[in-house]
Amino acid sequence: MILTETDHAALEAARAQSEPTRRATVPALEAMLYQPVPVLDHGFVRVIDYMGDDSAVVQAARVSYGRGTRKISEDAGLIRYLMRHRHSTPFEMCEIKFHVKLPIFVARQWIRHRTASVNEYSARYSVMDREFYIPAPDQLAAQSVNNRQGRGTVLEGDEAQTVLALLRDDAERNYTHYEYMLNETDTEPTNGRQGLARELARMNLTLNYYTQWYWKINLHNLFHFLSLRADPHAQHEIRVYADAMLDMVRAWVPLSAAAFEDYRLGAVSFSAQMLVVLRLMLAGEAVTQAESGLSKREWTEFMAVLGRLPPG
């Protein structure tokens, strides 16, 4: 991610502003405000604003007048209880707004999380930058043979270089054609041609071009996003954004973040039938997949969680 002098000046001006307030603030997150965290080759994520902290979750759960005088350990215990028993509304009392720069194909995956307020950069109004995502060599992988949504072995040698060259050449060529169709420098057409409307010229750009948006969400729904996108099985290109955001959440609401990582991100769920099988196993009984009532896929996932998959 390359920032221009104008970008740096705008960031410093934003970070220099300070307003007195009676609302809760979090020094660790205040230090991060407006500061872009680089993600992928040209992307970033940064916090623009937030409301609430761990005490807001506790306050909502107790419906109290203020922060109260209870110990941190008591607040942590209550937050863990809320997370453990999926009492979600207290976490909805906290909100955060991010500014994100991301490849278009990642944005199309991200937007499936519909419980946020989003305002995206408009290519009908503005001209897109010549910035596109090219995967790092260790992320250039073949299609998985057993997972229709995943990646398999990493491409190497001439094949990898050919794919990288195709991605870069296609993106460069399409942007050159995009500029030609626009036929404008800043806002004035050149060469006597009128040029194509921006809302039409943009359709020629590839999905690895970068877009930007403001994304505002409450803490409960953010935890749902992170539980899916910060998971090791998530696509790498969205997971790195989720990982950066999780670091910000840890600074913002450390007690809630710890409970989330314990009960959601680092936990697994068993079906009622899986619990039946697990109890039989703990009682010393041998249970096969055919006897378990679980499908082959469920059984494989269940055994993987228990660390009992056969070699190979």
Mean pLDDT, 10 residues at a time, the chain of 312 residues: 77 80 90 96 97 95 70 90 95 98 97 95 91 92 72 85 94 94 72 84 94 97 97 94 98 98 94 96 94 94 87 50
Q: Count Cβ atoms below 10 Å from residue 33 Cβ, excluding itself.
A: 14
Which residues carry out catalysis? Answer: 229
Cα dihedral 267, 272, 276, 277, rounded to 10, equals -60
Q: How far is CA 125 from CA 107, 121, 174, 187, in A?
A: 19, 9, 19, 11
Q: Whole-angstrom Cα distance, residue 57 to residue 75?
A: 9
Tokens of 163: 């794919």
Q: How far is CA 37 from CA 1, 134, 136, 299, in A?
A: 9, 18, 18, 40
Q: Count Cβ atoms below 10 Å from residue 60 Cβ, excluding itself.
A: 18
If we measure between CA atoms, which residue out of 89, 55, 80, 71 comes closest to residue 262?
A: 80
Residue 120: the pLDDT is 95
Q: Which residues of 215-252 are buried (b: 16+ CB within 10 A; e: fewer)?
A: bbbbbbbbbbbbbebbeeebeebbbbbbbbbbebbbbb
Helices (H) then strands (E): counts for the chain: 13, 9
Query: Would you say the C-alpha torsion 293, 296, 298, 303 has a positive or negative sign?
Result: positive
Q: What angle do helix axes 272-282 and 296-306 make, rounded to 10 degrees?
A: 50
Q: Count Cβ atoms below 10 Å from residue 11 Cβ, excluding itself.
A: 15
Tokens of 257: 């973040």
Instruction: Fill in the DSSP letter of residue 115.
Output: S
Q: Whole-angstrom Cα distance, residue 76 to residue 126?
A: 47
Residue 312: the pLDDT is 47
Name the helix (H) or strand (E) containing 148: none
